[in-house]
Structures are given as C-alpha cells and as structure tokens.
Chain A
C-alpha cells in the first residue's frame, strides 16, 4: 500500500488534494456596477480561494446581491473584471450554480425532473441521488406546489448540486424560511460543502448565519467592502460558543456604526435591544 518513492508520494498527495478541492478561485478586480446614474458597486475587490466559503453581508440595497449576480454572469460589470482560476489555469469558465431566495422550481415538472433540469435523460439516477442527499427521495414524484418552503429550497439545493458545481452562489436562499428550518438547511449546506469541496459565496442579511457557515465574512456598505473578517471557529459551529457571540457582536456593531436611521439604542433591556438590532438594520 505504502509508496516508497517520495516523488510519487508527493504526486499522489497532490492529486488527492486536487481531488478534494474541485472549487474554483475567484478574483474580483476593481469591479463597478451602475444602473443609469445610480452606482451600486464602487471599485470592489475581492479574492476568494478555491474551496473557500465566503459570506457577504450588508444592509438591503448595499449591492451585495448585485455582486453575486455579477459573479454569476447574470449581469455585466460597468468596469473592472471578474476572473476565475482552477489550479494553475486562469481565464476559466467555472461550472456555476445559483440558489435564489425563491426556490424557482418549475411548477409543471415533478420534483425529480426539476432536479434533473439541464441534465441529459440518461442522468436521471444522478438526480435521484442528489435528491437522496437532501433527504427528499420519497417526494421525487410530487409536484413542487405541494412541498413546504424548506422542502422546495432543499430541492433547489439538490438541483444545484447535481451538476457538481465548482462554484455555488447562494442569494439569501434561507431568507424566507422559519428559524428551525433555517438552522437545518444551514447544517445541510455546510455538510454538503464539506463533502463536495466547491467554492461557496453566500449573500445574507443574517450575521449569525454568515458566521455559522463562512470562512470569511465580508461586509459591503454603500457599494464598498468595508470589512473582511476571517472566522477561525472550528466546525461544526455552535451558536452558544462565547467566541461565536463575540464575533457576532463585533460584526453587528460594525454594521450598525452608520445607522441610516438612529435607533433609540441606549434605552431598554440589553438582550431585547440586541435581538431587535439584529434584524433592524436589514429591513
């Protein structure tokens, strides 16, 4: 079993590493985006390593979703460029899949065929397998209309993963789910990310979610990146961890530094204030 040749050993290790990390690297280079007069992104630069999980947080309308749509090539940047790299290869067009806030399942296709969207017919077993990964194999023949919101998002996740993407973009995919389902989905996304090794970019307005999932939390304010916080916590992350709470506190404080409307912050019970301020800035 053991290889005595050190060179060969090294090669095997490298191959194993490459196998483990099919994710793609992203370099966002001085990208700007304007809609008419309104500048949404102002010379944004971001470097995402292969296999990294990056969360982008920010207030509504700060441009975080626009950045995601630019990375997804759903829109064109007004200036600057976004480049992808796979290993030494640059100028590469990665296999990218997006999960939207609404699941965007085709209501006229049964669950299994929604997952198989864009696959050749012979790959239907792959779709069934992806459905099993998200724990919904018994709903394969249902119409999307009869699923709950959480189940629809799980189907959407299966649909994204069946293509074995090198880059998974998540545009507030859990925003419309209830708290319990959301935690479940976060765990599912984390485990699938760990298993498949794709690069993930998550846009969210929930700082807690960002810290629970991401290697890095990037804050966008007014079209600029104003914070790039590495999260070194061990996985799986528990929300009760004091370091978790400290990070959440500090990022939230950073976000709330420029409140658009000054809240009556100094008043009232601290814990209540916190839970209110968690969402207040996002709406």
Chain B
C-alpha cells in the first residue's frame, strides 16, 4: 500500500516535471517547424542573387514578395483571395453539408444504406476532375460549375467518415443510454453524434485539404477572378513572380485550413485522451 502511494507520488511528480519541461519547449518546436521553409527561402534568395537561377525560371523571393506587395496595395490580391475563399467555403458547405447529412442518414438507418450506399460508392470511384467536360456542358463556365466540382470532391471524405463514425459508436454505450431511458433525439445528441465526431472530423480535415486542389483546377478552366485566374493570367504575360505568389497563397490557405480543422478537433474532442 505504502509503496504504491510512493509510486503514484513519484509518477505524478515526474508527470509534473515533464509538463514543466514541455512548456518552454513548445515555442522552440514551433520555431523548428518553420526552420525548414525559412532556410529554403534564404537558400533560394542566395541562389538567385548569385545568378544560379534565371529569373525567367524562378524569380528571387524578394521579387515575389514585392509582387505580392504590389498586388496587395492595388487591392487585386484581396479581390482574388476573397473570390477563391468564397468558392472554397461555399463548396465546402454544400458538399460537406450534404456528405454529413447523407452519412448520418445511411449510418443511422439500414434501409437508407441499402438504398443509397451502392450508388454512392460507384460515384465515389469517378475522379471529380473527370467530370469537367460534363460539368462545362451542364453548367457552362460560370460559378455553378466551380461550386459543383468542389462540392463533389468534398462530399465523399465527409460522407464516408460520417457513415463509418456512426457505425463504430460503442454499442455498449448505446445499450447503456437506452436502459437509462434515452431514445430518439436525446440519444442521438448525447451518445451517437459525439461518438461519431472523431471520425467526422477526420473527414473534415481530408476535405479541407481537397478543397484547394479542386479549386486550383476549377479556377484554371475559365474564370474572371480568383487565385487560379490570377495565376493563369500571369502565366500568359510571363509574370513568374505573380505565378509564384498564387502558388504560395494556395500553400498558405491550405495550412490555414489545416490549423482551423486542428483547432476544431482540439475544442470538440477535448474529452479525448489523445487531445488532452
């Protein structure tokens, strides 16, 4: 008994020490994770300055930054950024919302699964980008086509993970909740949805990554605004620096979306030992 007390005291003591050591270390890890991109940019700048890289192929980082600065000042950057973000958000909302809804439906009701799942699995195997010719025929080349493409791509990761999440909720917990008088919506709200949430959020992260990929393609087909349009336009005028601004913007936006998804997980799954 006494040894176990001592052991547990030791364990909590070392846990505390470990916790303390982690806190100042956290900032360092944050810095470290940015070390590689920064070093790459420095090396790139030096290479451009020394003339190893032709500015036709790859302009120096400073030129890219000044191009970004100019675009930002003229307001052009913000228009394109706004248009692209709006497309990503609306496509994500439509596709993700539908995926969530159908996933919940097929996950909860077996009849719905029998009715829908086979068809959905078949459609899933068609690459969204293979639909482009058809999409252009159907919707023309305006916003609807882009919205459709992004939605289709986002739909499946969220649908599949929602379905899987609902199905893998601990049966024991459901049985317990039923025997405690929960049924219908309270059972769904208190047990099934939170149980499926970790899986749904995995789907959200996948989908957020896919949004940008699809958007790039959708915006390069034909558009009057958006980051993809800006990049394609710049290519025609051989403005490599602007092309690079566009590419870097996609990287930044992708990272931003990931940070968003992570913080959602951190908040919603704060009960989960893996997120504490």
Contacts and interface: CB of A to CB of B under 8 A. Distances in A.
A212 B255 CA distance: 61
Nearest to B195: A108
Interface stretch (A16-24, A95-103, A241-249, A257-265): A95-103
A145 B172 contact: no
Interface stretch (B48-56, B107-115, B179-187, B226-234): B179-187
Contact of A74 (B175, B191, B194, B195): B175
Contacts of A163: 180
A95 to B, nearest CB: 9
B180 A118 contact: yes
Interface stretch (B89-97, B244-252, B268-276): B268-276
A98 B180 CA distance: 8
B218 to A, nearest CB: 37
A123 to B, nearest CB: 13
Nearest to A98: B179
Contact of B172 (A104, A117, A118, A146): A104
B181 A118 contact: yes
B175 A106 contact: no
A143 interface: yes
* Binding site secondary structure of chain A: loop
Contact of A102 (B172, B182, B195, B273): B172
Given A102-B172, A106-B190, A117 B273 contact: no
Band of interface residues on B: 20 to 34
A169 B230 CA distance: 69
Interface string A182-195: 00000000000000
B176 interface: yes
A104 B173 contact: yes
B163 to A, nearest CB: 20
Contact of A106 (B181, B191, B197): B191
Contact of A100 (B172, B186, B190): B172
* Binding site secondary structure of chain B: helix
Interface residues of A, number: 22
Most buried by B among A98, A102, A108: A108
A118 B182 contact: yes
A72 interface: yes
A117 B272 contact: no
B5 to A, nearest CB: 12
Contacts of A118: 177, 180-182, 186
B176 A108 contact: no
B173 A117 contact: no
Contact of B276 (A104, A117, A143): A143
A107 interface: yes
Contacts of A144: 271
Given A100-B172, A145-B271, A145-B273, A106 B180 contact: no
12 contacts: A72-B179, A97-B179, A98-B176, A108-B195, A108-B197, A117-B177, A117-B190, A145-B271, A145-B273, A146-B276, A163-B180, A180-B1
